A and B are shown apart, each in its own frame.
Chain A
Amino acid sequence: MNWPALPFLLPLLTALAALFMGRPGRLRRQVVGGSAALQLLLALYLCARTLDGSRLVLGIGGWSAQYGIVLVVDLLSAIMLALAALTALVTILYGFVESRLAVEHPLRLPLVQFMMVGINLSFCTGDLFNLFVAFEIMLIASYALLTLEVDNWEIKETYPYVAINLFGSVFFICACGLVYARFGTLNFAQIAARAGTMTDDPLLLIIALLLLVVFGIKAGLFPLYFWLPNSYPTLPIPLAALYGGMLTKVGVYVLLRMLATLLPPELTLIHRLLLWLSAATMILAVLGALSRNYIRGILSYHILSQIGFMLLAVGFFTPLAIAAAIVYIIHHIVVKSSLFLIGGVAAWLNRTDDLERMGNLWEKTPWVGVCFLLQALSLAGIPPLSGFWGKYLIITVGLEQRAYVLVGVCIVASVLTLVSMLKIWNGAFWKSSLKILVHREDPRWKRMAALCGALTMISLGIGLGAEGVFRVARQAADTALDQRGYIEAVTRITNPKEATP
């Protein structure tokens, strides 16, 4: 069974089916929702298969690994696949509840599925150029979704998003060319095998820096993040949750994969650069969040601040630190997308998400408030919620490496996160004013809030079962860092006679 191909074939077929069904209808929704659920089950199955640290490798077309396309699923990929499928499922269901069939844009569901093709393919691929193609599929679908339902005023915010990502793609092609010129292959395993013997080659450093810029743009690293906080708020709420939860994390995953599996671990200059850039991202983005006055804007800036935490952990580059980054990614994707959705429910109830004009929500809808409070405190890192464990691990690693300044930055950023979350809490939930109405007539908000509640429960589960999550993350980190095993697994599948190079 060719399991590694299924995670992107399934959404591809769903997207095509949805396209051919044409107008939005009940059947089309059932097909897409069912497929999203199936993708989640598939990803969980892949997690179970790779839990022992094994890798599922598929050489497409039976070509030799040096020139052909290889798909590799290890535990890290499987975890990311599961998180992507979970986010997609919840946001698709939220979209079903939020918008009636009559107003649903006919292209939204197919485009979401096309985006999932790109996201899943970039988690599964074992080939640099195939990764480029996956990124392009994801980005083109994301451009289209971003501009699908914007109004005439907000269209100008989407242009920088499209432009900066196009330039990222151009640099990615250049990096592919350089890699091919230097290593004579684009396969991850072969690059890893050859890069290990040429650690003092200056071209290797240039390639690594180029890749850092490319994936830094996708992830939203410090000097390259200006496109994100203005463009994400233009999206409808369920799509904003999907984008905020998943898209930048694809960049983080690929950076992690590059540094851990592809490039030799001796590139300490890159790691140190990554440390300081992510510290800057963390602090500047959280200050940006404080400056905003509407929920989607605050949350968009928070995505960046959290990216800083993850990449800081990647930059420390010990097995424990990589595990910490993975724990943080798991926590962040669930919490971030649920915060966007809760913000959406709050905005639905107040008919606005401008904090000046919101209020009364704690009094009228306490359960939405409880969900928000749990997730916001988790984001800020209050024990025993899920965010605490990620931050605890990162700070432990930081103290081990005597990086006291970076640890200080982490703590300051966490406190400022709490402050900006309190801003939403005070503005939307706690404030009571007779002038502000809470619109509870339309019962759809209850089902939307129930979805948020489900995500909150998952996040609580991650917080309370932190021990198990950490063990899985540790296993994923060890597998990702095991370059020799990766090389062996790939070369064995494509050419059994070829020994380890």
Chain B
Amino acid sequence: MQPETAILIGIMFTVATYLVLHRSFVRILFGFLILTTAANLFVLSMSGTPDGKNAPVVPAVDTGAVMVDPLPQALILTAIVIGFGTAAYLVFLLYRLFLDQKTTDAIALYRTGPTDEPTDPPTS
């Protein structure tokens, strides 16, 4: 792994952890977005340094150059799509939470404590 990529991933993980530990659910969402990107970058960096290597689509016969390992790229393609879907879901959940409770701050939300006395199961 290249040192500059490693440092970048480290910074992104730090920022994401900082955001996730906040009380505001919106910041947790942003932390999650940065965290998925950091994880994808981490997996991408597993294909090694790309210097002097060909992109996986170009046949390497004439130049004799080595291909970059394509598998991590295939993996993060899947991971990006899944991460995008879950992020979209989280945004909607947050929006509904905000509409229902008029706040996204954890302290204000849980002031009454967890629902010790839940509503009765629906009988229909």
- A residues contacting B by CB (< 8 A) are 67, 98-100, 103, 129, 132-133, 136, 139-140, 143-144, 147, 149, 151-159, 162-163, 166-167, 169-171, 173-174, 176-178, 180-181, 230, 233-234, 236-237, 292-294, 296-297, 344, 347-348, 351-354
Chain B nearest CB, measured from A144 CB (Å): 8
Whether B96 pairs with A155 at a CB distance below 8 angstroms is yes
Q: How far is the CA of A100 from the CA of B32 in the complex (A)?
A: 39
User: Total A-B pairs in contact (CB under 8 Å)?
Assistant: 129
Known: A170-B32, A296-B121. 9 other contacts (CB 8 A): A140-B86, A149-B122, A154-B115, A155-B97, A163-B32, A169-B82, A177-B46, A230-B115, A344-B121
21 residue pairs A–B, Cβ–Cβ below 8 Å: A129-B75, A129-B78, A136-B82, A139-B86, A140-B89, A143-B86, A153-B100, A155-B96, A156-B110, A159-B94, A173-B36, A173-B42, A174-B42, A178-B46, A180-B75, A294-B118, A296-B118, A297-B116, A344-B121, A351-B120, A352-B120
Whether A176 pairs with B117 at a CB distance below 8 angstroms is no
Which residues of A have CB within 8 Å of B83?
169-170
- Closest A-chain residue to B99, C-beta based? A152
Which residues of B have CB within 8 Å of A139?
86
What 4 A-B pairs are tightest by C-beta distance, nearest first?
Answer: A177-B43, A152-B100, A181-B46, A352-B120
Which residues of A have CB within 8 Å of B120?
347, 351-354
- Closest B-chain residue to A139, C-beta based? B86
Interface size of B by CB at 8 A reads: 43
- Closest A-chain residue to B40, C-beta based? A173
Q: How far is the CA of A354 from the CA of B120 in the complex (A)?
A: 8
Q: How far is the CA of A147 from the CA of B93 in the complex (A)?
A: 8
Q: How far is the CA of A351 from the CA of B121 in the complex (A)?
A: 8
Contact check: which of A129, A140, A167, A353 meets B85 at CB < 8 Å? Answer: A140
Q: How far is the CA of A67 from the CA of B83 in the complex (A)?
A: 23
Knowing A173-B79, A180-B46, A353-B120, say if A159 contacts B115 (CB, 8 Å). Answer: no
Within 8 A of A (CB), among B1-40: 20, 25, 28, 32, 35-36, 39-40
Q: How far is the CA of A178 from the CA of B118 in the complex (A)?
A: 43
Which residues of A have CB within 8 Å of B36?
170, 173
Knowing A140-B86, A167-B20, A180-B75, say if A152 contacts B101 (CB, 8 Å). Answer: yes
Q: How far is the CA of A218 from the CA of B106 in the complex (A)?
A: 23
Whether A180 pairs with B119 at a CB distance below 8 angstroms is no
Whether B97 pairs with A159 at a CB distance below 8 angstroms is yes
B71 interface contact, C-beta 8 A: yes
Q: How far is the CA of A353 from the CA of B94 in the complex (A)?
A: 29
Q: How far is the CA of A147 from the CA of B71 in the complex (A)?
A: 35
Whether A162 pairs with B93 at a CB distance below 8 angstroms is yes
Whether A158 pairs with B119 at a CB distance below 8 angstroms is no
